[in-house]
Amino acid sequence: ALALVSFVVIARADDDDEVTKTKKGVMKAISEIKHFFQSDPLGRKLVEVMKELASVCQVVRKKARMALKQYVRNLLDEAE
Protein backbone atom coordinates (compact mmCIF):
# COMPACT_ATOMS: atom_id res chain seq x y z
CA ALA A 1 0.00 0.00 0.00
CA LEU A 2 2.89 2.35 0.79
CA ALA A 3 4.38 1.75 -2.66
CA LEU A 4 1.05 2.63 -4.28
CA VAL A 5 0.77 5.85 -2.26
CA SER A 6 4.33 6.88 -3.15
CA PHE A 7 3.66 6.11 -6.84
CA VAL A 8 0.52 8.26 -6.79
CA VAL A 9 2.40 11.10 -5.09
CA ILE A 10 5.18 10.96 -7.69
CA ALA A 11 2.68 10.82 -10.56
CA ARG A 12 0.79 13.77 -9.10
CA ALA A 13 4.03 15.76 -8.76
CA ASP A 14 4.77 15.16 -12.45
CA ASP A 15 1.29 16.42 -13.36
CA ASP A 16 1.84 19.54 -11.25
CA ASP A 17 5.15 20.17 -13.03
CA GLU A 18 3.41 19.95 -16.42
CA VAL A 19 0.70 22.36 -15.26
CA THR A 20 3.33 24.77 -13.95
CA LYS A 21 5.26 24.58 -17.22
CA THR A 22 2.07 25.20 -19.18
CA LYS A 23 1.10 28.17 -17.01
CA LYS A 24 4.57 29.68 -17.33
CA GLY A 25 4.52 29.18 -21.10
CA VAL A 26 1.14 30.86 -21.45
CA MET A 27 2.16 33.76 -19.21
CA LYS A 28 5.37 34.21 -21.22
CA ALA A 29 3.43 34.27 -24.51
CA ILE A 30 0.97 36.83 -23.12
CA SER A 31 3.86 38.95 -21.87
CA GLU A 32 5.55 38.87 -25.28
CA ILE A 33 2.33 39.87 -27.05
CA LYS A 34 1.74 42.70 -24.58
CA HIS A 35 5.33 43.91 -25.04
CA PHE A 36 4.90 43.81 -28.84
CA PHE A 37 1.81 46.04 -28.77
CA GLN A 38 3.32 48.46 -26.24
CA SER A 39 6.94 48.77 -27.40
CA ASP A 40 7.31 47.71 -31.02
CA PRO A 41 6.55 50.41 -33.63
CA LEU A 42 4.63 47.94 -35.79
CA GLY A 43 2.62 46.82 -32.76
CA ARG A 44 1.77 50.42 -31.90
CA LYS A 45 0.68 51.05 -35.48
CA LEU A 46 -1.56 47.98 -35.35
CA VAL A 47 -3.17 49.32 -32.17
CA GLU A 48 -3.87 52.65 -33.90
CA VAL A 49 -5.35 50.91 -36.95
CA MET A 50 -7.56 48.69 -34.79
CA LYS A 51 -8.83 51.68 -32.80
CA GLU A 52 -9.68 53.48 -36.04
CA LEU A 53 -11.39 50.36 -37.38
CA ALA A 54 -13.44 50.10 -34.18
CA SER A 55 -14.63 53.68 -34.53
CA VAL A 56 -15.56 53.10 -38.19
CA CYS A 57 -17.52 50.00 -37.18
CA GLN A 58 -19.39 52.04 -34.57
CA VAL A 59 -20.37 54.62 -37.20
CA VAL A 60 -21.50 51.91 -39.62
CA ARG A 61 -23.53 50.24 -36.88
CA LYS A 62 -25.17 53.53 -35.94
CA LYS A 63 -26.09 54.29 -39.56
CA ALA A 64 -27.44 50.78 -40.11
CA ARG A 65 -29.62 51.06 -37.00
CA MET A 66 -30.92 54.46 -38.12
CA ALA A 67 -31.77 53.09 -41.58
CA LEU A 68 -33.51 50.07 -40.07
CA LYS A 69 -35.46 52.33 -37.71
CA GLN A 70 -36.64 54.47 -40.63
CA TYR A 71 -37.55 51.38 -42.66
CA VAL A 72 -39.67 49.99 -39.80
CA ARG A 73 -41.38 53.36 -39.37
CA ASN A 74 -42.24 53.41 -43.08
CA LEU A 75 -43.67 49.90 -42.84
CA LEU A 76 -45.79 50.88 -39.85
CA ASP A 77 -47.04 53.99 -41.65
CA GLU A 78 -48.03 51.88 -44.67
CA ALA A 79 -49.87 49.40 -42.45
CA GLU A 80 -52.08 52.15 -41.03
DSSP, residue by residue, 28-42:
HHHHHHHHHHHH-HH
pTM of this prediction exceeds 0.85? no
The pLDDT tens digits for 12-70 are 555 566 767 788 888 999 999 999 999 999 999 999 999 999 999 999 999 999 999 99
* Terminal Cα-to-Cα distance of the chain (whole angstroms): 84
- Per-chain mean pLDDT for the chain: 84
The Cα–Cα gap between 58 and 71 comes to 20
Query: What are the structural domain ranges in the chain?
Result: 1-39, 41-80
